[in-house]
């Protein structure tokens, strides 16, 4: 029962953090730079797994976690020009977070026998909620971003 309450609280905080982030970026970041903001942010949130690996001393998790971070960084960089890849990056990162949560609390082998790092309690629930909300926002905003790129005179092959 206590874990369920904690999860509900963290999901709620994830929603509030996502709404706040979306409002602030919509209000204060020029449209043509908003994709870049979310691309850089995806790299930073993926890099949290390096901090967790180091903090929890999960030496055998370094390879899996750094490979995943590199994949998210590639999606983030390409997603600046191709917003659909940002959608994929955030959705996959949300799934990655949930897999860590499931692995940690159930012991299920969700990483094909590879060792993953530990995460703080309910981090996966918070982050997956945030990631899926941001992915939805990117779907909503991507046409505005592409139009801003087109009107700025920058050739965008994604349009």
Counting beta carbons within 10 angstroms of the beta carbon of residue 41, is it exposed (0 to 12), middle (13 to 18) or buried (19 or more)? middle
Per the domain annotation, does 63 fall within a domain? yes
Per the domain annotation, does 26 fall within a domain? no
**Structurally, how many domains does the chain consist of?**
1
Per the domain annotation, does 3 fall within a domain? no
Per the domain annotation, does 4 fall within a domain? no
For 30-67, the three-class secondary structure string (H helix, E strand, C coil) is: CHHHHHHHHHHHHHHHHHHHHHHHHHHCCHHHHHHHHH
Q: pLDDT tens digits for the chain (159 residues)?
A: 888 899 999 999 999 999 999 999 999 999 999 999 999 999 999 999 999 999 999 889 999 999 999 999 999 999 999 999 999 999 999 999 999 888 887 777 778 878 888 888 899 999 999 999 999 999 999 999 999 888 876 555 454
pLDDT at residue 159, as a whole number: 45
pLDDT at residue 154, as a whole number: 57
Distance between CA atoms of residues 82 and 3, nearest Å: 38
Q: Are 135 and 90 in contact (CB under 8 A)?
A: yes
Domain range enclosing 86 = 33-151
Per the domain annotation, does 64 fall within a domain? yes
CB atoms within 10 A of CB 59: 11
Per the domain annotation, does 138 fall within a domain? yes
pLDDT at residue 153, as a whole number: 65
Per the domain annotation, does 126 fall within a domain? yes
Per the domain annotation, does 13 fall within a domain? no
């Amino acid at each position: 029962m206590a874990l369920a309450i904690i999860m509900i609280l963290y999901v709620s905080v994830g929603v509030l953090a996502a709404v706040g982030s979306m409002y602030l970026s919509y209000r204060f970041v020029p449209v043509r730079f908003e994709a870049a903001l979310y691309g850089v942010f995806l790299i930073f949130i993926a890099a949290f797994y390096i901090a967790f690996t180091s903090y929890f001393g999960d030496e055998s998790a370094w390879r899996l976690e750094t490979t995943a971070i590199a994949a998210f960084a590639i999606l983030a960089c390409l997603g600046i020009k191709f917003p659909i890849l940002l959608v994929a990056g955030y959705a996959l990162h949300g799934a990655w977070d949930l897999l860590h949560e499931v692995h940690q609390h159930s012991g299920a082998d969700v990483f094909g026998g590879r060792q993953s790092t530990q995460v703080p309690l309910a981090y996966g629930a918070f982050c997956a909620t945030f990631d899926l909300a941001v992915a939805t926002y990117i779907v909503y905003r991507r046409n505005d971003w592409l139009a801003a790129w087109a009107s700025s005179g920058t050739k965008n092959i994604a349009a």
